[in-house]
Structure 1
Amino acid sequence: MASRAWRSVRARTTLGATLVVAVALLIGAFSFYGILSSSIHASAERAAEQRLDELTERLDGPGGRGIDTLEDEIVQIIAPDGSVRAASEYALDDLGSTALPIVDGASTRTIDRTPMLIVSDDLHGDETLVLAVPIEDSVETLSTVAVLLAVAVPLLLVLVAVTTWLVVGRALRPVTRIRREVDGITAEHLHRRVEVPPSSDEIAALATTMNRMLDRLDASATAQRRFVSDASHELRSPLATIRQHAELAQAHPATTSIDELAEVVSDEGLRLQGIVESLLLLARLDEGAGTHDEAVDLDDVALGEVRRLRSRGVDVDGTGIAAARVVGDPRLLGQLLRNLADNAARHSAGRVAISVIPQGSWVFVTIEDDGAGVPEPERERIFERFVRLDEARSRDAGGSGLGLAIVRGIAAAGGGTVSVDASRWDGARFVVALPLSD
């Protein structure tokens, strides 16, 4: 199928190039023939008119003196009534008493199967001098040129078609090789790459682009496998806990109370529900699913988080919150700030600061704490899914490891970014940049 497609491309390219060259050659051939024909006829007319002027000066007079001495030219003197008053010997032999036509300018006639150029001029006494000049050489020259063009143009077209076919085939050969190599790369062999030719041309650029695409596919497949593995582990953990307590209650009903089992099932069920909801949200963000975008006062959302954390006994500094409005999904923006606020409260030693600072066309939301901070080598990895640092390995303290991944996904969906560095208290400071509403 692919081979037929490449042959089709090769054939279409050759046909297209041949048609273009054919049109150009035909236009050139007709133009050349027309210009050459006009030039030859104009030259013959000038020569005939020049000879006619010479004859007019020589023969002008009663009776056409000396006309019978012209042996190799067809010359006639025509009376006003159209009869031949005098003629050269050559004209008498070929035409007899038949008069040549009187023309204005120059005209071509065939006399005795010979092409002639006829010109005429007035003499005294209303007589007309008519000269017929053979133009066989000119006609033969034009015929020869026409034959040469009729032969050369098709030969050139054949040469162009063959050359184009070979050149296109040679140009497509590396593309065919790249196609075969890529066609042989399956999901199990995403580590393979296409050989980049040393030509530094479009083919090399195509191979480089293919390799970059394979790099992205390989990274995506690796991340997907890791994500599936981590998700399976995270989902298996609460299910295993529920199953263990259920089996323990079934085996030893006297030692396990219904309330204790219900509490375990409820807690693990809520944890399982949170993981599933987070996974679904991340899937929607990955797919670019549409959100309910509207104008959102980001300062109101931030103040809401300040009040919520203070109600939990956390010392929160909200003095850096300034008015700022963005366009986005209020539910997602609220979850973004809540995830960062909960993360700061979970890792802080007692102090958290939330600020909203508009600057230019952007607004910067900063949430920082006085906890242990994030080591510099881990500052990018913590936004990956199911990643929890050693401090937050426990399920109770560290959550599912999806909160910061959701934060980055929501920020990216809104055209923003999120980063982490050191806070003023050497803890962690998360900075979210979002475009301001117009």
Structure 2
Amino acid sequence: MASRNWRSVRGRTTLGATVVVAVALLIGAFSFYEVLSASIHGSTERAAEQRLDELAERSDGPGRGGIDALEDEFVQLIGADGSVRAASEDAREALGAAALPVSDDPQTLTVDGERMLVVSDDLDDDQTLVLAVSMDDDAETLTTVATLLAIAVPLLLLLVAVTTWLVVGRALRPVERIREKVDGITAERLHQRVPVPETADEIAALATTMNGMLDRLDAAATAQRRFVSDASHELRSPLATIRQHAELAQAHPGVTSIGELAEVVSEEGLRLQGIVESLLLLARLDEGASTHDEAVDLDDIALGEVRRLRAAGFDVDGSGIQAARVNGDPRLLGQLVRNLADNAVRHTRGRVAIGVTPSGGHVFVTVEDDGAGVPAEERDRIFERFVRLDEARSRDAGGSGLGLAIAQGIAASARGTLAVDDSRWGGARFVVTLPLGG
């Protein structure tokens, strides 16, 4: 089927090109023939008029003696009454006493089966000199040209058709190879790539672009598989904990109390709920779901996080918080700052600082700690989903590895960015950059 489609495209392209060239050649041939015919006819008229002028100058008296002696020419001297006063030998033999027509414009007529052009000139003695010249040479020339065109046009069309067939076939061959390769690429074969022809033309650019697209699809599919695997693991962990305690309580009722079981179920259920809510939020952010857009005071959000962390017993510096307003979803922006604050207290040794600084049309929200910091080579990876640089400590502290991924997604949805560098104490400093709002 694919081969037939390729041949069909090749045939349609060849036919279309041949028809276009055929129309162009026919128009050109007819135009050329008409221009050539007009040019030859004009040349014959000019030659006849020039010869007529020469004969008029050579006339002796009324011109009768000079005309009678002419041979191989049709010349007549016609009087005012329309009678033939003198004629060349060929004119006398062919016409006798019949006079050629007299007109100010050249005329064509058939004399003795021969097509002739007739021109006339008035003399001083009220007589008219008339000359008729044969047009057989003109007709023969035009017939030769018409014959050559009738032969050349079909040959040119055949040449164009064959050339187009070969050129289109050569041009479509790499396209067909690309099509066949793409047709065999499935979700399980996204690692395969299409061949790039060494032609450095549009087809090579197309193949390169398709390989780039396949690279992105492969990376997205790999990330999706990893995400599904990680999400399954995270969801399975609290379920397994709940099941183990339930089985233990069922097998040994005296060892595990109902209160202990309820506490474990409640704790793991909250953890499970947090993971599910985080996954749903990430899905919304990935889909570009529209968020409620209103004026939000970031300083109020930051001060609220400072009070919350201080109430939990952490030493939090909020002196760098300045008044700043942005446009966005207050709930999501609040979760952005909270995720960064929770990440900071999870890794701090004792000091955390939260700052809000408006500058140059942007607002910079900073959250820093005095923990171990983030190595330079890991600063991009920590924003990936389910990534933990310290697996054991993050899990013990309740982290699912989704907080920073959610924070980055919220920042992007608010037309901002999120980056990490070193804090003033050697720990990690997260910087959110958002455009100032009204």
* TM-score for both structures, normalised by structure 2: 0.90
Aligned to 1:268: 268
Q: How does 1:111-260 map to 2 (within 5 A)?
A: 111-260=111-260
CA RMSD for the aligned pairs? 2.6
Match of 1:102 in 2: 102
For residue 255 of structure 1, report the CA deviation from its aligned partner. Answer: 4.0
State which drifts further: 374-383 or 44-53.
374-383
- Superposed CA offset, 1:323-373 (max 9, x none): 444443333222222211211122222222223334445433221111121
Tell me the equivalent position of 1:39. 39
Tell me what 1:356 maps to: 356
| TM-score between the two structures when normalised by the length of structure 1 | 0.90
1:124 is paired with a residue of what secondary structure? coil
For residue 274 of structure 1, report the CA deviation from its aligned partner.
Answer: 1.3
* Matching residue's letter, 1:18: T
Flag the 1:425–1:60 CA change in 2: closer, same or farther, 3 A.
farther
**Counterpart for residue 381 of structure 2:** 381
Paired residues, number: 438
Render the CA deviation track for 1:243-300: whole Å, top value 9, x for unaligned. Answer: 2222233333444433333332222222111111111121222222333334444444
Unaligned runs of 5+ in 1: none
Match of 2:345 in 1: 345
Report deviation, 1:217: 2.3
SS at 2:208's partner residue? helix
8 Å contact 2:271–2:398 — kept in the other structure? no
Partners of 2:161 and 2:362 lie apart in 1 by 59
Q: Distance in 2 between matches of 1:177 and 1:213?
A: 17
Worse-superposed segment, 154-163 or 251-260: 251-260
Separation of aligned partners in 1, 2:301 and 2:12: 61
Q: Distance in 2 between matches of 1:368 and 1:308?
A: 16
Write the letter of the residue equivalent to 1:331.
R
Of the structure 1 ranges 86-95 and 151-160, higher mean CA displacement relative to structure 2 is found in: 86-95
Distance 1:20 1:162 in 2: 14
Distance, in Å, in 2 between the alignment partners of 1:8 and 1:363 is: 61
Q: Matched residues in 2 for 1:76 and 1:17: separation? A: 57
Larger mean Cα displacement after TM superposition, 41-50 or 283-292 = 283-292
My pick for the range that moved more, 316-325 or 219-228, is: 316-325
Q: Does 1:73 align with 2:40?
A: no
Aligned CA distance change for structure 1 residues 359 and 169 (closer, same or farther; 3 Å) = farther
CA separation of 1:311 and 1:14: change in aligned 2, threshold 3 A: farther
| Contact 1:326/1:434, CA 8 A, preserved across alignment | yes
**Structure 2: how far apart are the matches of 1:120 and 1:384?**
101
**Counterpart code for 1:371:** G
Measured after TM superposition, the shift of residue 124 of structure 1 is 2.5
The answer to whether the Cα contact below 8 Å between 1:79 and 1:85 also exists between their aligned partners in 2 is: yes
Indicate how the Cα distance of structure 1 residues 64 and 287 shifts in structure 2: closer, same or farther if over 3 A, else same. Answer: same
Query: Is the Cα contact below 8 Å between 2:56 and 2:63 reproduced in 1?
Result: no
Partners of 2:219 and 2:18 in 1: how far apart? 46
Instruction: Please give the residue correspondences for 1:288-299 in structure 2 after superposition, counting only pairs within 5 Å.
Output: 288-299=288-299
Q: Name the aligned partner's letter for residue 78 of structure 2.
A: I
8 A contact 2:60–2:66 mirrored in 1: no
Residue equivalent to 1:400: 400
Q: Indicate conservation of the 8 Å contact 1:357/1:365, yes or no.
A: yes
Secondary structure of the residue that 1:100 maps to in structure 2?
Answer: coil
- What secondary structure does 1:116 align onto? strand
Residue aligned with 2:397, SS: helix
2:284 pairs with 1:284: yes
Q: 3-state SS of the aligned residue for 1:121? A: strand
Mean Cα deviation higher: 424-433 or 318-327:
318-327
Q: Structure 1 residue 414 and structure 2 residue 434: aligned? A: no
